[in-house]
């Protein structure tokens, strides 16, 4: 008899839009045992091939079925330093769950029957965190005199630092902002990733010996050459923090944000706790988010909560040029956005913002679209329908159409070669840049924008750095 998936408990939509508390509550022990018991323990577990960091999924789930939660946690930690984070934010429906044998062949994302690997990882990660389970010592004498500078404390930087620190290298992370975490902190809202979880896993890294220096902009306050002189090797995990824009008329009107700025104000600078925190952010009665990725979902869900907190009637819309099937956002985030009352307006292309006499946005002019043949991304190309113009009320707009490379370091270091998108060029096998001993990973090398993909590149780079340090 087929066992049904164990649905994870969530805060009801009408209750959760009133604050920024975590939405998904996670599995209880009995629920985790029941879901782990659905795993077929395949002879050739295809799910592992879907994990960018190669977690032994079969083995950690088996440990859960045996109530051996300690070894479930330690199994994950062999490959992943941040299970409680990844169990919450990984796009598992496009990765390990999609590769599960219970997913129908040819499905663009995981079937409902696929094992909820991410929630089981979260269960094991939280168990290890709450019980302060120590990790086995792996420090090697050959790395005791090695030192590594890591630029950026986002997913790639934290992962690389953790891997090399575990081997015994002296690792120092340089972070440009006043708080660590990179996109994990400024980009992902607390209702998806509670700050206590993020802080705990970063503190765990520091307890292992990794040093973190905030408020250091490498390329400005400190040059790459200085790091090369001081450290044995350097890893660049800068991310891609420069927002993309639509480049349409009126985009410079007041109350039009990039998603980066909006989410940084809300998440990093705690605008959602106003007036406890004095961070200003505009909240409109008709808020529009343009884009279809995870960042768009996060921005829209934040915007709706801010409207509710202000006492406005919720009116937040997501505009996207394609259909829901082409949206790159996680299926789970799309479902949550719908449940919370976000309005999805699909097959729509913005063409101009319209302002009032004071220079504030008031309307958005759009065209309707239809889908043509697939483009280079593999998705069907949106084509505007001539003569289909219409206007939408809009007093705050948030642009979430992608990010571009941060060029502060590369402009100051021309010997680091970049491509036409200004992403750092690396050897795909070693992740080494054009400068010997300097490696890079994550969005700065043209990553796919997910936490676990960035970590996968950082792990590959950490192996190369370890080899470099041994041979230096």
pLDDT digits (tens, 9 = 90+) for 59-96: 999 999 999 999 999 999 999 999 999 999 999 999 99
Question: Does residue 2 form part of some domain?
Answer: no
Tell me: do 430 and 445 sit in the same domain: yes
Tell me: do 431 and 385 sit in the same domain: no
Name the phi and psi angles at 369, rounded to 5.
-125, 165
- pLDDT recorded at residue 382: 92
Average pLDDT of span 361-377: 92
3 state SS of 55: coil
State the Cα–Cα distance between residues 427 and 249, nearest whole angstrom: 40
Q: Which two tokens stand for residue 340?
A: 């919370």
Question: Does residue 47 form part of some domain?
Answer: yes
pLDDT tens digits, residue range 203-231?
989 988 999 999 999 999 999 999 999 99
Phi-psi category of residue 169: left, alpha or beta, with phi > 0 → left and psi -120 to 50 → alpha:
beta
Q: 306: domain range?
A: 243-402
3 state SS of 157: helix
Question: Does residue 4 form part of some domain?
Answer: no
Average pLDDT of span 301-330: 96
205-216 core/surface letters (b: 16 or more CB in 10 A; e: else): beeeebebeeeb
Question: Does residue 339 form part of some domain?
Answer: yes
Judge whether residue 448 has pLDDT over 80. no
Tell me: do 285 and 375 sit in the same domain: yes
Tell me: do 72 and 191 sit in the same domain: no
**Residue that is last in its domain, among 69, 97, 130:** 130
State the Cα–Cα distance between residues 335 and 308, nearest whole angstrom: 19
Tell me: do 446 and 461 sit in the same domain: yes
Q: In this predicted structure, which of 81-85, 102-106, 407-411 has the lowest mean pLDDT?
A: 102-106
Tell me: do 64 and 189 sit in the same domain: no
Tell me: do 322 and 451 sit in the same domain: no
The total domain count for the chain is 3
CA dihedral 233, 237, 241, 242 (to 10 degrees): 50
State the Cα–Cα distance between residues 400 and 458, nearest whole angstrom: 26
- What confidence tier does 137 reach under pLDDT thresholds 50, 70, 90? confident
**Residue that is last in its domain, among 375, 402, 429:** 402
Tell me: do 31 and 61 sit in the same domain: yes
Tell which wins on pLDDT, 38 or 141: 38
Judge whether residue 278 has pLDDT over 70. yes
Question: Does residue 462 form part of some domain?
Answer: yes
CATH code, domain with 97: 1.10.1060.10
**Residue that is last in its domain, among 355, 380, 402:** 402
State the Cα–Cα distance between residues 340 and 301, nearest whole angstrom: 8
Tell me: do 261 and 386 sit in the same domain: yes
Question: Does residue 3 form part of some domain?
Answer: no
Average pLDDT of span 251-256: 98
Do 55 and 79 touch, CB atoms closer than 8 A? yes
Question: Does residue 135 form part of some domain?
Answer: no
CATH code, domain with 262: 3.50.50.60
Question: Does residue 185 form part of some domain?
Answer: yes
**Strands of 116-193, DSSP E:** 147-151, 170-174
Average pLDDT of span 113-128: 97
pLDDT tens digits, residue range 374-389?
887 788 899 999 999 9
Average pLDDT of span 415-429: 95
Kindly report the pTM of this predicted structure: 0.94
State the Cα–Cα distance between residues 101 and 116, nearest whole angstrom: 12
Tell me: do 288 and 353 sit in the same domain: yes
Strand duo 242-243 + 403-404: pairing: antiparallel
Tell me: do 111 and 152 sit in the same domain: no
Tell me: do 121 and 185 sit in the same domain: no
From residue 228, give the alpha-carbon distance in Å to each of 67, 151, 468, 469. 47, 12, 14, 13
- Write the CB contacts of 108 (distance below 8 Å, at least 6 apart in sequence): 325
Average pLDDT of span 98-108: 91
Report percent pLDDT > 70 for the chain.
99
**Average pLDDT taken over every residue of the chain:** 94
- pLDDT recorded at residue 143: 87
Report percent pLDDT > 90 for the chain.
85
- pLDDT recorded at residue 471: 83
Judge whether residue 1 has pLDDT over 60. no
- pLDDT recorded at residue 276: 86
Name the phi and psi angles at 35, rounded to 5.
-70, -40
């Amino acid at each position: 008899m087929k066992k049904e998936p164990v649905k994870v408990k969530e805060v009801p939509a009408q209750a959760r839009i009133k604050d920024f508390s975590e939405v998904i509550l996670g599995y209880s022990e009995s629920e985790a045992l029941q879901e782990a018991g659905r795993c077929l323990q395949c002879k050739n577990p295809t799910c592992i091939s879907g994990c960018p960091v190669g977690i032994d999924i079969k083995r950690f789930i088996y440990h859960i079925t045996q109530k051996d939660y300690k070894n479930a946690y330690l199994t994950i930690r062999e490959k992943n330093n941040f299970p409680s984070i990844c169990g919450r934010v990984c796009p598992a429906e496009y990765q390990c769950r999609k590769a599960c044998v219970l997913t129908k062949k040819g499905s663009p994302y995981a079937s409902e029957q696929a094992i909820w690997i991410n929630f089981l990882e979260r269960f094991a990660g939280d168990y290890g965190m709450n019980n302060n389970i120590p990790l086995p010592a792996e420090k090697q004498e050959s790395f005791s005199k090695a030192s590594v500078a890591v630029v950026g404390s986002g997913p790639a930087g934290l992962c690389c630092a953790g891997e090399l620190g575990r081997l015994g290298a002296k690792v120092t992370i340089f972070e440009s902002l006043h708080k660590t975490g990179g996109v994990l902190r400024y980009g992902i809202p607390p209702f998806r990733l509670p700050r206590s979880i993020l802080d705990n896993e970063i503190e765990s890294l520091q307890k292992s010996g990794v040093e973190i220096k905030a408020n250091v902009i490498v390329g400005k306050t400190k040059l790459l050459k200085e790091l090369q002189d001081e450290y044995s090797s350097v890893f660049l995990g800068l991310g891609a923090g420069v927002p993309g824009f639509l480049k349409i008329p009126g985009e410079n009107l007041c109350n039009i944000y990039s998603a980066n700025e909006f989410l940084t104000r809300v998440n990093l600078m705690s605008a959602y706790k106003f007036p406890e925190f004095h961070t200003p952010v505009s909240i409109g009665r008709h808020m529009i988010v343009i884009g279809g990725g995870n960042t768009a979902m996060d921005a829209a869900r934040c915007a709706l909560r801010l409207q509710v907190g202000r006492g406005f009637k919720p009116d937040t819309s997501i505009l996207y040029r394609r259909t829901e099937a082409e949206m790159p956002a996680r299926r789970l985030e799309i479902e949550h956005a719908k449940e919370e009352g976000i309005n999805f307006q699909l097959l729509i292309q913005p063409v101009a913002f319209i302002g009032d006499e004071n220079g504030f946005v008031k309307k958005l002019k759009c065209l309707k679209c239809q889908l043509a043949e697939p483009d280079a991304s593999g998705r069907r190309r949106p084509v505007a329908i001539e003569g289909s113009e219409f206007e939408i009320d809009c007093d705050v707009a948030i642009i979430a159409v992608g990010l571009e490379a941060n060029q502060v370091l590369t402009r100051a270091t021309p010997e680091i070669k970049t491509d036409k998108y200004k992403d750092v060029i690396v050897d795909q096998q070693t992740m080494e840049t054009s400068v010997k001993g300097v490696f890079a990973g994550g969005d700065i090398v043209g990553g796919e924008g997910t936490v676990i993909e960035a970590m996968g590149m950082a792990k590959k780079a950490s192996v190369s750095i370890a080899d470099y340090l041994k041979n230096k």
